[in-house]
Amino acid sequence: MISGGLIVSVSFAYLLLLFAVAYFGDRRADQGRSIIANPWTYALSLAVYCTAWTYFGSVGRAASGGVWFLPIYLGPTLGFALSWLIILKMIRIAKTYRITSIADFIASRYGKSHLLGGLVSIIAVVGTVPYIALQLKAISSGYALMIGEHDAAYRAIHAGSWLQDSTLYIALVLAVFTVFFGTRHLDATERHEGMVAAIAFESVVKLVAFLAVGLFVTYGLFDGFGDIFARAFADAELAGLFTLDGSGGGYGGWFALTLLAMLSVIFLPRQFQVTVVENVNEQHLRRATWVFPAYLLAINIFVLPIALGGLLLFGQGTVDPDTFVLTLPLVHGQEWLAVLAFVGGLSAATGMVIVETIALSTMVCNDLVMPLLLRLRRFKQAAYPDLTGLLLVIRRGAILGVLLLGYLYFRLAGEAYALVAIGLISFAAVAQFAPAMLGGMYWRGGTRDGALAGLAAGFLLWTYTLLLPSFAKSGWLDPGFLEHGLFGLAWLKPEQLFGLQGLDNISHALFWSMTANIGCYVLVSVLRSPTGQEASQATLFVDVFRRGQAVMPATFWRGSAEVSVLQPLVARFLGIRRAQEAFSADARARGVARVEDLKADAGLVHFAETLLAGAIGSASARVMVSSVAQEEPLGLDEVMNILDEASQVRAYSHQLEEKSRALEAATDELRHANEQLKELDRLKDDFMSSVTHELRTPLTSIRAFSEMLHDDPKIDLAERKRFLGIIVSETERLTRLVNQVLDMAKIESGHAEWHNSDIDMRQLVEHAVSTTAQLFRDRGATVELSLPDAVPLLRADHDRMVQVMLNLLANAAKFVPENEGRVKVELTYGEGEVRVDVTDNGPGIPPGFLPVIFEKFRQGGDERSRPQGTGLGLPISKQIVEHFGGRLWVTPAAGGGARFSFALPLGERAAESAAAPHNEIE
Amino acid sequence: MRRGLAGQRLVAVFLAGGLLFNYPVLSLFDRLELAFGFPLLYVYVFVVWAALIALVAWIAERGAR
């Protein structure tokens, strides 16, 4: 047994430590060096999901239902797989419109309705009260156990009088503590960095403490997992815990619990607070998507071993399994481990209470109390210039009120239930938010009336089928109505409504309340079309991801107000200094020097309203702003017009984008074509200058010799003959040049005439070589001819092919060295083509000339040394060869000369005739 | 960031989880047996759970690159 003083001082020391962490977190946030701006802290703060329910209650649940404690953690795992679809959108919406609670979210979505915000707040408070009671019960019975105030079955003994009940004082201490945590000052975005840091810290503490107890039980009291399970397996009653139906409840109940937990992890007020409102960076959600489920997995590993261990050691029905986490170490003399376990439980409970009550206080203040205050005429006028103090008082009062309500529920109904059963009642309450929230985020048609009807119907059925029975079972209400139904009507029995049987009470309540909720929401919504306000808010919510892109209007509301009116209004709720800062920042952002110069337009009004929405909720902000602004509310038609305009503009801009892309492509093509044209133009100029140059050379010599003959009649006959010979040869050259230019032009333009026939390349090559034999003889060069026995016939123009051969041979003759020239002509065939190589032992072609040698008028060698020629021979040859689908190329020869080669493809028919020559000979 | 693809993968994981954690698949393992010294159902749920978390981690962290 441990002294009460020790437990109390340890508890206070722990709370102080938490406070230090929070203080440190706030300090760092003020300095701009946030400690919570990382995904791990974010994921750990989400683990506020694990409360005293998880810490003490899971073991209790496992002791009576085996694996039935698990759906509560499988649901969030599945839900978080969808976080990238649902939670991300919630975060974006909340950040864009400064939404600070679920009530504000729903109220804002359905046209900034006070009524809706109030209803959601009431459901949230009433629904959460049992959950808070659960935490109080866990702390107080834990405390009683630690100091020995329990009966033989380790059941805590609570003092009869309220004033002597330690639970009341625990509630009060927690209230004071939460007030210090969450409402030390007012923030426009309702973010509490210090609190989040403390919650993340608590998550680590409770995990470590629970794992420590788990390890102690599994390896300290038993011989590991195998030992515990084997011993439980041997016990017929305990073995029932190993299966689903052995422990009561069917697969339907399992599914209902999973679904319930999945909805709760998104829609519990405290989860909304840490997941959405306290989110620093959307990207943190990415890691939380798996770290948070991993945390849940880790904290659940030892649940079943502890439960089975407790049952094996204590025996069934002797000790309340909800207390195993504390009693197992206590009974086995591990007092310090018990203290650690108690601190872990304290962590789990305080974390939940702090975040939950802060979230609820924001709701109560913004969506319940403010709207009522705003109805007071006196209050609307600026009788109270600064209301920040009032806002803080309201929130602190709300925190205290919620905790006292929790205590009240604990006194009235807490004793009758196990921890988990109490928690599930709350889960079923917050699940009522799901239709209005999800519908509001993805369906434009939902209306305020639909949401009101759905929430009211769901809440009513929840109250009737879960909350009232919980009072009845604790004896506070007449239990008769449980057994016989309201007014004795059997079909009104709360746990078998309309005679529905075979479901556990949670599945039963969930089914009826969700059916009524969704049914009313959808049916009432489709009764009438949305009003302008509803339609505009629906668009802002559903299309939140599109807003940044282009032309979604920031607001659908047209109005104006002077900054001199708006700023004092904002200052009333945010404080003069904060308002001044916010407006100055806005002025800077708009490029205006002084706040007074800000234009009184709809944008400014919207800005002021968003600022206010962070502090007092969107519905109240709407009321306050409309009290000072000149405005014209929009009807549905006008909203639709704005939307149409927006979507038209969007469509136009889309079209424009496409057109400009097409234009760009066209421009690219044009630029490319232009470059080609320029190149062609340059080539044409080169060609012209080359042609004229080539024409002038023979003309000059013809003219010179003609003039000599004309001017000097005394030239002797021999000389005269020589001159005339030169004139004739130069004229021939001129004719050849002109012919070739014409030829080239014809081939290039496609007007050349081709006379195709079957040609035998053997004959053709031999003919060409014999034709040029004189040429080689003059140069003193030898020609070596290498021909196969037979080659297939080729379909081509005979004269043109001779032209190609002559050209290549003439080229070779021109370049071989005087008297030492050796030229080799080789004909081969194979692989579907016939190939001719003409190799010389001339100087070869310098590498620099290789790419240009087939261009017009580009001759090998430099100006002076280059031999006679038109410079058109190779280009024409290339054109001819390519016309027949072949190719012409040049490679350096082995001995330093050049090897010109061309290859022509054999037609199909030609390939067949390859073997024919032999037959013909026969 | 290929958000579209990661989003679809996560939805697929969600659907797989919904299938594996419910009737009738769950009933295949709902037998009074020990597997490796652990209750069969217990082993099944924890192994599938861990696998789903690993899968989500892989998808989410991969998309972050």
The pLDDT score that the predictor gives to residue A299 is: 93
The pLDDT score that the predictor gives to residue A379 is: 61
Number of DSSP helices (H) and strands (E) in chain B, helices first: 3, 2
- The set of residues, in sequence order, having a beta carbon less than 8 Å from that of A602 and lying 6+ positions away, is A555, A557, A558, A559, A560
Confidence class for position A73, pLDDT limits 50, 70, 90:
very high
Task: Determine, for residues A67 and B53 on separate chains, whether the beta-carbon distance falls below 8 Å.
Answer: no
Confidence class for position A43, pLDDT limits 50, 70, 90:
very high
The pLDDT score that the predictor gives to residue A45 is: 92
Confidence class for position A520, pLDDT limits 50, 70, 90:
very high
Residue A822 in contact with residue A816, Cβ under 8 Å?
Answer: yes
The better pLDDT of the pair A561, A714 is held by A714
Residue A26 in contact with residue A194, Cβ under 8 Å?
Answer: yes
Domain ranges of chain A: 4-376+394-440, 553-634, 638-748, 755-921
Average pLDDT of the segment spanning A807-814 = 85
The pLDDT score that the predictor gives to residue A432 is: 94
According to DSSP, the β-strands at A822-830 and A782-786 are: parallel
Task: Determine, for residues A290 and B53 on separate chains, whether the beta-carbon distance falls below 8 Å.
Answer: yes
The fold of the A755-921 domain, in CATH, is: Heat Shock Protein 90 (3.30.565)
Nearest CA in chain B to A301: B46
The pLDDT score that the predictor gives to residue A190 is: 61
Confidence class for position A460, pLDDT limits 50, 70, 90:
very high
Q: Which residues of B touch A80 (CB under 8 A)?
A: 56
Q: Which residues of A touch B46 (CB under 8 A)?
A: 297, 301
| Chain A residue set in contact with B, beta carbons under 8 Å | 67, 70-71, 74, 77-78, 80-82, 84-85, 225-226, 229-230, 233, 239, 242-246, 251-252, 254-255, 258, 283, 286-287, 289-290, 293-294, 297, 301, 304
What does the pLDDT look like over A421-441, one tens digit per residue?
A: 778 888 899 999 999 999 999
**Min distance B48 CA to chain A CA atoms (Å):** 10
CA gap A58, A64 in Å, rounded: 10
Q: Which residues of A touch B52 (CB under 8 A)?
A: 77-78, 81, 293
Q: Identical fold at A4-376+394-440 and A755-921?
A: no
- Residue A485, phi-psi category: left (phi > 0), alpha (psi -120 to 50), beta (remainder): left
Question: From the centroid of its chain, how far is CA A30?
Answer: 30
CA gap A252, A508 in Å, rounded: 10
Domain ranges of chain B: 3-64
CA gap A113, A544 in Å, rounded: 20
- Residue type at A519 in one-letter notation: G
- The set of residues, in sequence order, having a beta carbon less than 8 Å from that of A48 and lying 6+ positions away, is A199, A202, A203, A270, A271, A274, A351, A352, A355
Residue A465: both structure tokens together: 């089928």
CA gap A797, A885 in Å, rounded: 13
Task: Determine, for residues A245 and B30 on separate chains, whether the beta-carbon distance falls below 8 Å.
Answer: yes
**Min distance A465 CA to chain B CA atoms (Å):** 25
In DSSP notation, A539-578 reads HHHHTHHHHTTS---S-S-EEE--HHHHHHHHHHHH-HHH
What does the pLDDT look like over A88-141, one tens digit per residue?
A: 999 988 888 888 889 989 998 888 888 899 999 999 998 898 889 888 888 888
- Residue type at A694 in one-letter notation: E
The pLDDT score that the predictor gives to residue A921 is: 35
Average pLDDT of the segment spanning A886-893 = 86
Confidence class for position A44, pLDDT limits 50, 70, 90:
very high
Nearest CA in chain B to A285: B60
Nearest CA in chain A to B64: A286
Q: Residues A478, A483, A486, A488: what is their CA dihedral angle, to the nearest 10 degrees?
A: -110
Task: Determine, for residues B21 and A74 on separate chains, whether the beta-carbon distance falls below 8 Å.
Answer: yes
Residue A207: both structure tokens together: 């995990």
- The set of residues, in sequence order, having a beta carbon less than 8 Å from that of A323 and lying 6+ positions away, is A56, A141, A142, A145, A154
Highest mean pLDDT pick, A381-395, A838-852, B3-17: B3-17
- Residue A849, helix vs strand vs coil: helix
Given the candidates 3.40.50.300, 3.40.50.10490, 1.20.1730.10, 1.10.3720.10, the CATH classification of the domain at A4-376+394-440 is: 1.20.1730.10
What does the pLDDT look like over A829-855, one tens digit per residue?
A: 888 888 899 988 888 787 777 777 777
**Min distance A233 CA to chain B CA atoms (Å):** 8
Question: From the centroid of its chain, how far is CA A816?
Answer: 73
Q: Which of A480, A485, A448, A449 is nearest to A465 (CA)?
A: A485
CA gap A502, A490 in Å, rounded: 16
**Min distance A226 CA to chain B CA atoms (Å):** 5
- Residue A890, helix vs strand vs coil: strand
What ipTM was estimated for this complex? Answer: 0.94
Q: DSSP H helical segments within A712-760, as ranges?
A: 717-749
CA gap A844, A654 in Å, rounded: 61
**Lowest mean pLDDT segment, chosen from A187-196, A461-470, A582-591:** A187-196
What does the pLDDT look like over A650-708, one tens digit per residue?
A: 677 788 888 888 999 999 999 999 998 998 888 788 778 877 877 887 888 888 888 88
- The set of residues, in sequence order, having a beta carbon less than 8 Å from that of A27 and lying 6+ positions away, is A194
Q: Does domain A638-748 have CATH number 2.130.10.10?
A: no
Residue A851: is the preceding peptide bond cis (ω within 30°)?
A: no
Task: Determine, for residues A286 and B60 on separate chains, whether the beta-carbon distance falls below 8 Å.
Answer: yes
Query: Least CB-CB distance to A242: which of B23, B41, B60?
Result: B41
Query: Least CB-CB distance to A67: which of B22, B42, B54?
Result: B42
What does the pLDDT look like over A757-800, one tens digit per residue?
A: 888 888 888 888 888 888 888 888 888 888 888 888 888 888 88
- The set of residues, in sequence order, having a beta carbon less than 8 Å from that of A351 and lying 6+ positions away, is A48, A51, A198, A199, A202, A203, A206
Residue A871: both structure tokens together: 């410079």
Average pLDDT of the segment spanning A636-651 = 67
The pLDDT score that the predictor gives to residue A75 is: 93
Mean per-residue pLDDT of chain A: 82
CA gap A592, A476 in Å, rounded: 65
Residue A657: both structure tokens together: 């984008």
Task: Locate the DSSP E strands across A369-513.
Answer: none
